[in-house]
Structures are given as structure tokens and as C-alpha cells.
A and B are shown apart, each in its own frame.
Chain A
Amino acid sequence: MAGSGKAHLRDSGDVLLRVEDLVVEFPVGRTGLKVHAVSGISFDVMRGETLGVVGESGCGKSTTGKAMMMLPRPNSGSVVFEGTELTNLPADEMRAARTRMQMIFQDPISSLNPRRKVRDIVREPLIIWKRGSSAEQLSRVDKLLEEVGIDPQRAAESQAHQFSGGQCQRISIARSLVLDPTMIICDEPVSALDVSVQAQVLNLLEDLKAKYGLTLVFIAHDLAVVKNISDRVQVMYLGKICEVAPSNSMYTTPAHHYTKLLLDSIPVPNPDVAVAKVTVQGEPPSPVLPPPGCRFNPRCPAADDRCRTEEPQVRQVADGHFVACHHPLFGGDAPVSVTTV
């Protein structure tokens, strides 16, 4: 994969967010080396759409989410949100823009201030932006808390540690909604929760999305969770995009060898499904010295000399299904025979 290119960007329709050639690098101490966290990725999100971003740790999915919020500003590239270029926006205008795009984080308990009452935490954005009178603010906060299933009375009296993880995530969701944003970036919002609670929070996100017409960017490592909530899914590996497709077609007919590896690795809760023999060993290499060519080539069963030197560009293999691979599993120029052991 390790692909670049913009073939998958859409020109028509109501594009809410458009990211082009996003690059984020972090210095490694004073060595002069850099972590290539995100290396020139492009994608877009339509209004009302849910885009799922999946990949293993270190693939740059969280960095991408944060770079969209200019946390920190990317090294290069462009992020256009609601028609405004964010990368060169002055700090105060960026703060105002963030009221339209909110974020939910992985650890629900540590992302809430432990010393404050939960109701005050949810209300704070309204106070900062001077929205409405005190009574209006409180009634909005209480309405939102009820919608996410938290008793407002209890929220007024309690701090975050008095709630469970699932409840804290509900509180974070209420806080992200209080300024009436158009887009919410969810960074692993359910990975710290038990499966029974995870289902509650995922259903809640779907309900609120429908009710408030939200656009979601849903970042997670769990492919089943991402499939459940997303309209389109984008697979990342070592700071690059491998594949972008509508979620159903991505999961039934993956085109990229890495996507297939991910899908084959998921443990299926059914003992009659034989556990697939592990065909790809090893772990992703360091993003400090990413391999040349396609970044997946050292682990890819179909890699050849071209993959080791030339970076594949994103291209369409089916309707709305894009892949960055020289030898995709389907839609390639010539059929490739992959010998699996």
C-alpha cells in the first residue's frame, strides 16, 4: 500500500471535509531523524457520512484525527472544513472552527476533569462561548445529558470517578454535542469499554448522528466495530492509505493484501469457522525508517521488485472502491498468483 494519489477524492456532492497531501512528522530527540506518522494522505468526508479509519497501532490514524483539528498543525498539506482552509487559520479563528468539529477520546475517565462536577464539565463550552443565559445553558445541558442516558441531577452532584467507563463516555459525548457541531471525530471511543457497554455506546452514536445530522470520523482498530458504524472505511498502514471503499464492499471483497490480512486475523466467535493459519508473520516496521516503495512490501505475500521501489497510487477497482496496490486482489492489470503457505 503505502499509496499516494487523489483518485478517490470526490468533486460532486456536499463535501464537508477535504484533506489533501496531509503530512505529519515528529522529530526523534535531537537525532535529526523523524517519525513519519502520516505521509501524504488525502481523503474526504461528505456531510452526514460516517468515515471509519482502521489500522494497527502506529499507522497514523489518531495522528490524522488530531491533525484535522490542528492538534498540532500538520507539517504540510491542506485541510478544508466547511469551505475554510484550516492549516493557515489564525489561532482565534481556529478555536472558533473547533466549535464546529469536536472530538471524543479513547479513555473516557481521564478525558474528564476529575475535580469538577460532571454537569459543569458539559456546560463549560457554553460559558466560554457565551451561548444563551444561565437558565438556557442549564436546560440545554440537562436535555443532552438525558439524551445520552445520564441523570442530570446525579451529574450536578457527582464527579467523573463516580461514574463507570461507559457512563463517562456518554458524558464525553454530551460534552462534544453541546455546541451543536457538524462533525465529531471519535478516536477509539469504545475500545476501553466492555462488549456489553460498547454496544450501548455504538447504538447511542448512531441515534445521535441521525437526530442531529452529524458527520462522524470514527477511528478504531476493531474492524467489526468500524464496519458496523461506517458508511465508508479507509484502511491505513504506516502513515499511508491502503484502501478506501464502502464498508460492505470492503469487507466482502477486499482489494488490498493488508486489508485481507486484517480481516483474516479477526477472531470469529464461532468454533465451526476454522481459525485461519497465520500467513504473514512479524509486525509493522518502524515509522522512523519506512521501507521504500509500497510500505507494506516487507510483509506482503505478493510483493515483487516493483513494490520495493515504486510507490503505488490510489486507483479505482470497482464503483467507489479504491486501492493503492500494484497487484490488488482484484481489478489489477494482470492476475497475480499468490502462493500462501
Chain B
Amino acid sequence: MNTRIQAATRQIDGPLLKVTDLRTHFRTERGLVRSVDGVSFSLDRGKALGIVGESGSGKTVLSRSIMGLLPSRNTERSGSVIFEGAEIIDRSLKERRKIWGREMSMIFQDPMTSLNPVMRVGKQISEGLSIHLGMDKQNARETALKLLYDVRIPEPEKRLDQYAFELSGGMRQRVMIAIALACGPTILFADEPTTALDVTVQAQILELIGDQRRDRNMSVILVTHDLGVVAGHTDEIAVMYGGKLVEKAPTRTLFANMKMPYTEALLRSIPNIEDPSHTRLNVITGRPPDLVNPPQGCRFSPRCEYVQPKCVTEEPPLLTAEHLDHVYACWYPVGSPVYREKRAQLDRQGSGATVGAV
């Protein structure tokens, strides 16, 4: 696609996307919900970043804040989002609409409800092509067909004139991807793109997103709660907890040398297919924090096994690990003397997870 080539040659020094101290707060009856509370990171062209966290950690709001896809009422957004060298956080709706689809696009979690039920699939794909790229009807339809081939949907000619309800869940998600890719975006946000799909279909969709990323030299931000999904399909991982970014590192570094006890606890709570059955699972006691009244100090401290007095009073800043591209927010990271002492103590007590109160 011609536009795609243009976008790629418009090379600018520095990262493609630079987010600095982004805050998104929602005014509610209960008080101010600090869904994203001072997040900073950058993303290079062609890279895949995974954002992981539990529900309510702010991962979805973060991706929508970057795109500016949030209602203006009762929302307070501050900080800086620099995309291709230009600040986009203060753009008006009209200006943002020029970015959506063409520069940044999004695949949503639920392909059933994100497609228009009364518009033919082909029309939904070609709509963006005619609006953003000014293609004529015939050209847009041909491009839509080519996109359906790209996303490997069976019998693409037939699909153009079908409605969403006539397609299976996997095919609908492929259509969503085709719509998102239509105008050759520079960044593709995929918000839990496979959560509603079966595991065999999930594998196909993740492979498709990866292939398209490489073919188009596109950046991908993959938002998910599943550490398994990000392990195989990202270059870097950002872990979110309570509206904050608590650890970020290249994927291999993160898995080999995680610093934040939360990341470790999250990984250890997943049943491992390699373990024999009835292996006792490690649990994280308690629940994610209330974002109206977040805990003092480190937001993970009420649930952390290694909590120390300092954690409860002082909030840890983002520190840099041995590798400069690895940052974490913890006073006593995994492997530190205090951590090791506490770990040994817990092991002596036989830290068998009990049926703890919630």
C-alpha cells in the first residue's frame, strides 16, 4: 500500500511514541478514580510492547489515553504523548480523528460487539479507506478484499457481502484486524485481542498479528492479562499495577530476571502445564487496590509477601536495573538481601498458601 511506504520513510530520530507522566483520572460519585497515575515509557518503530496486569490495573485505560479514545466528560487527562515527534495529547477531536485508523488503530477484545451488526463486512473495511485515503468505491473494495486475504479469512470474496452475525468468532476477529490494518497504521493497539477466542484460534490470531507487524514494520501494543500470550509475541513487557507502571524490560530480561515481587507473584500464580497435577498454586492474597483511595507507599505493599516498613510509607520510584532498559518500582527487589532473608524465612514457615480471607 502506498501510504504505508510513505509512513515508513517519514523516519524521525528517537522513539516512535514517547509517553511522559501520563495521568488519566475519572470523576465519579465515589471520588477521583486514578486509573492511570503517572506512566512514562517509550516505544520504537516496529517493536511489540506487551502491557500486562490484572483487571483494574489501568492497562486498557492507558492504551485508550494514548489514542485519545476516552469520553471528555468527567475525565482528566494530563502528561505528554509524543508521537512521531509531535505532541498529540492536546489535539482536538477533529484532529484526533485524523490519527485514528491512519496512524493508530485498535483491535478490541470482543469482536461480537465491536463490529457494526447492520453493515456488510466489506463496507466496514472500506469505510476507512475512502475517508482517510480518499479511495474511490471500486478501489476501496478491491483493497478490502486484499486485506481479507491478508488476514487469511476463508473464502474472502464471499465475506465482503456478509454481516458480522454470519461469521464465527475467529473470523470476526480477523475482520477487526483487517479494519485496523486498512489504512496502514504505524501503531496497532490490540486490547485483549484473543480473550474471547478459543485456544486454537488464539494461536492463529496471535501469529497473524505478528506476521502483519513484520510485513508492515508496524509497532504493536498488546494489552493482556495473560503472561503466556506476551511471552511469545512481544519484544518488551510493561507490568501495570494500580494505575502505575511497576516494571518494564525486554521480554527475555523480564522473564529471566524479574525485579518486582508483583511480577514474580503473577507468574507464579499461573498453573504451569509442566507441573504434575494437584501442584499447590502460589496465590497473591487480597485484591487489587481501590483506585479512589490507593494504599500509601508502594501500592502492592498490602499484598506483598516481602513487605517492609519503608514500603508502607514511601512510594518507590522507577529504578534502573543492571540493564539500562530494565526499570522497576520496588525498594527491595527480587534477589536483594532483604528479599532473600524474607524468602528464607517464608520457606522455613512453609509458605503453603492457606484459604486466606479475601
Contacts and interface: CB of A to CB of B under 8 A. Distances in A.
Interface of A: 56-57, 147-151, 164, 166-167, 170, 194-200, 202-204, 206-207, 221-225, 227-231, 247-248, 251, 261-278, 280-283
B270 A202 contact: no
B281 to A, nearest CB: 4
Contacts of B226: 195, 267
Nearest to B208: A278
Interface string B278-309: 11111111011000000000000000000000
Nearest to B200: A265
Interface of B: 54-55, 152, 154, 168-171, 198-204, 206-207, 225-229, 231-233, 251-252, 255, 265-267, 269-273, 275-285, 287-288, 353, 355-358
Contacts of B251: 271
A278 B265 CA distance: 30
A265 B203 contact: yes
Contacts of A269: 227-228, 231, 255, 267, 270, 272
Contacts of B270: 195, 199, 224, 269
A269 B226 CA distance: 8
Contact of A271 (B255, B273, B287): B255
Contacts of A224: 270-273
B27 to A, nearest CB: 22
Nearest to B53: A194
Most chain A C-beta atoms within 10 Å of own C-beta, residue among B225, B226, B271, B288: B271
B231 A202 contact: no
10 contacts: A57-B169, A148-B355, A164-B358, A170-B358, A195-B54, A195-B227, A199-B281, A204-B355, A223-B199, A273-B231
Nearest to B154: A282
Given A199-B284, A271-B255, A225 B199 contact: no
A223 B198 CA distance: 11
A248 B274 CA distance: 9
A149 B357 CA distance: 4
B274 to A, nearest CB: 8
Contacts of B265: 196
Contacts of B200: 56, 261-262, 265, 280, 283
A281 B204 contact: yes
B275 A228 contact: yes
B271 to A, nearest CB: 4
B91 to A, nearest CB: 34
Contacts of A150: 358
Contacts of B203: 264-265, 267, 276, 278
A265 B273 contact: no
Contact of A206 (B252, B278, B357): B278
A200 B265 CA distance: 12
Contacts of A265: 199-200, 202-203
A108 to B, nearest CB: 12
A173 B288 CA distance: 22
A267 B228 contact: yes
Contact of A267 (B154, B168, B229): B229
